[in-house]
Structure 1
Amino acid sequence: MRHSSCFARWFGSAAVAALLATGLGGCQTARSPDVTGSLGTRAASSPGLSDAHGAIEALGERYRANPRNAEAGLRYGQALRADGRREQAVAVLEQASIANPGNKQLLAAYGRALAENGSFKQAFDILSRAHTPANPDWRILSVQGTTLDQMGKHGEARRYYSSALKIVPDEPSVLSNLGMSYVLSKELRKAEATLRRAYARGGSDVRVRQNLALAIGLQGRMAEAEALVTANVSPDEAAANVASLRQMIGNGRQTAGRPSEPRTSAVAAPSRT
């Protein structure tokens, strides 16, 4: 089994893309800005892929027949995001948002697409319009936190995670993003403690377990980290996971303590809404 040479394809959050961009790795792919971590990449020959492409084209035809239809624009944009057509998704969702000003569902999808495409400042601004202080959405608050982490504004990002956690205490996805924020600032003990909280409440989410393994491995406890990433997977997948983990940890150690400028051009990969 051929494994990915880039750990970002495994730990696929926006926060991890920032981690890689600030010196702990060499690849800049990421998945969802909503939730930290993601295993594997979408295979080019996945079963049913042609059917999925056909469904996307049908959604596109419906959208082009009436570009001002909010639902058509939203569904087409989300399908493009899921298929990895990031720039096209941004364009569709931007036009749909312009045609339907004030539609918060469209703004939320547009902001996520911008974040996945590396436009973090613009994503943050658009997401700010997708909810209000009087009626905040914890998912959007968490995504805003990851965009701030991408820009190197870790303290500000954590205030957004804190606000999200006031709405949904101990939500594993938010705790996972917060934990990865601490990884970005190399506060590894805080990262581990936070990710253990996420794991205790969301242990069924493999991405949370993988992020915890990263925080543990960066502290030099490789046996413990490898035990986490090899649990409940096939031998081939376990070997690939360990190889990727070791590469990521090795890159992190080589750049430890080296100052770096946060970059805002990390490329995001397909994600769920």
Structure 2
Amino acid sequence: MSALTSMRKSALIASVAMALIVGGCSSKKKSISTSSHNGAGYASEQALMESVTYWEKRYKSNRNDRDAALNYGQSLRHVGRIDQSLAVLERLATQASNDKVVLAAYGKVLAAKGRFKQALVVLDRAQNPTTPDWRLESAAGAINDQLGNFDVARSYYDKALLLAPGEPSILSNYGLSYLLEGNLPSAESYLREAAKHPKADSRVRQNLALVLGLQGNFSEAERIARSELSPRQAEANMAYLRTMMAERGNWNKIKKKKRS
């Protein structure tokens, strides 16, 4: 392999995005609900910042406004201001300790902060056992993946799929679970199934491109990557994935599989 080809492939892998459900599982419309990923696509950076500005004004005018605090906290999480989001939602969760919608949002930002075990406890409190929310099941699965509890994570995805059969975001998370474990063929299988769904969004296709690239299928991966997120966003997501995998040695495992 020439140096140019090697550099091209490295650049391609760095350009493909991956984002777990925990970090971006909410609808990013101006009036942000606490529903997890809804398959409706993702707003532009400008729209996200406009959302932060809008809800910040509402929140500052009345910090006890539940809806303003909830949406402001989620808007902050969507633009990566995790510490600030955590402060807002933690305060709100203290005030509304039995509000399952608030608890769901609080659990997600705890996960984004890396407080995974606490996040699982909070998300469990947010779940309604009589009418369970597939989004929370999927979020709990993603957190367990980050803890390295892959079998536990997939049991949550199985529960989520029973509640929402064929939901592409769940299938995508299933694929990412196998990716983090180092099982690329299984990851590709789930991600291809997810990408075929009419509701599949940009992130599902980016995840598929990532897995294809890691297996050496660079032509298809590059074609998908070029149609998706900006290079800056893609590089940030890829860096996050590499950090997660390096912590458990899985990144080296995948590199060895690619060389074999």
SS at match of 2:114: coil
- Answering whether residue 227 of structure 2 is matched by residue 228 of structure 1, we say no
Residue 13 of structure 1 corresponds to 20
Q: Quick one: structure 1 residues 135 and 32, their matched pair in 2 at CA, closer, same or farther if it must change by over 3 Å?
A: closer
1:123-153 Cα deviation digits (max 9, x unpaired): 1110000013322100011011101001000
CA distance in 1: counterparts of 2:52 and 2:140, whole angstroms: 30
Task: Name the structure 2 match of 1:263.
Answer: none
Q: Does 1:100 align with 2:96?
A: yes
Report the equivalent of 1:58.
57
- Residues in 1 aligned to 2:207 and 2:48: alpha-carbon distance in whole angstroms: 30
How many angstroms does 1:8 deviate by? 8.7
Give the distance between the partners of 2:42 and 2:253, measured in 1 at CA: 25
Would the alpha carbon gap of residues 176 and 94 (structure 1) be closer, same or farther in structure 2, given more than 3 Å must change? Answer: same
Against the structure 1 CA distance between its residues 150 and 205, is the aligned structure 2 distance closer, same or farther, given a 3 Å change threshold? Answer: same
Question: What does residue 177 of structure 2 align with?
Answer: 181
Once the 2 structures are TM-superposed, how far is the Cα of residue 84 of structure 1 from its aligned partner? 2.7
Distance 1:82 1:227 in 2: 27
The CA distance in 1 between the partners of 2:234 and 2:91, in whole Å, is: 40
Inter-partner Cα distance in structure 1 for 2:212 and 2:103: 37
Misfit runs of 4+, over 3 Å: 4-9, 30-35, 38-42, 46-49, 51-54, 251-254
Residues 1:255 and 2:252 aligned together? yes
> Which amino acid is 1:12 matched to?
A
The structure whose RCO (Cα within 8 Å, separation 6+) is larger is 1
Deviation at 1:220, TM superposition (A): 2.0
Structure 1 residue 103: Cα displacement: 0.5
1:73 Cα offset (Å): 2.5
Provide TM-score, normalisation by structure 2.
Answer: 0.72
State the distance in 1 between where 2:124 and 2:113 align: 18
Give the secondary-structure state (helix, strand or coil) at the position aligned to 2:176: helix
Partner secondary structure for residue 190 of structure 2: helix
Gapped regions of structure 2 (runs ≥ 5): 1-10, 27-35
Q: Aligned to 1:121, which of 107, 117, 123? A: 117
1:156 is matched with which residue: 148, 152, 155?
152
Residue of structure 2 equivalent to 1:131: 127
Shift of 1:79: 2.8
Take 1:226 and 1:5, find their aligned partners in 2: how far apart are those partners? 6
Residues 220-229 or 97-106, more deviating: 220-229
Residue 90 of structure 1 aligns with which residue? 86
Number of the residue aligned with 1:21: none
Q: CA deviation at 1:63?
A: 3.6
Q: By percentage of residues, which structure has more helix?
A: 2
Moved more, 91-100 or 153-162: 91-100
- The structural deviation recorded for 1:241 is 6.8
Q: Which residue of 1 aligns with 2:189?
A: 193
The 1-side partners of 2:139 and 2:47 are apart by 31
Residues 67-86 of structure 1 mapped to structure 2, 5 A cutoff: 67=64, 69-86=65-82
**Contact in 2 for aligned 1:202/1:208 (Cα 8 Å):** no
Q: How many residues align?
A: 226
Contact 1:216 1:225 in 2 (8 A): yes
Identify the residue that residue 215 of structure 1 maps to in structure 2.
Answer: 211
**Which residue of 1 is the match for residue 33 of structure 2?**
none
- For 1:184 and 1:200, locate their aligned partners in 2 and report how far apart those are by CA, in whole Å: 22
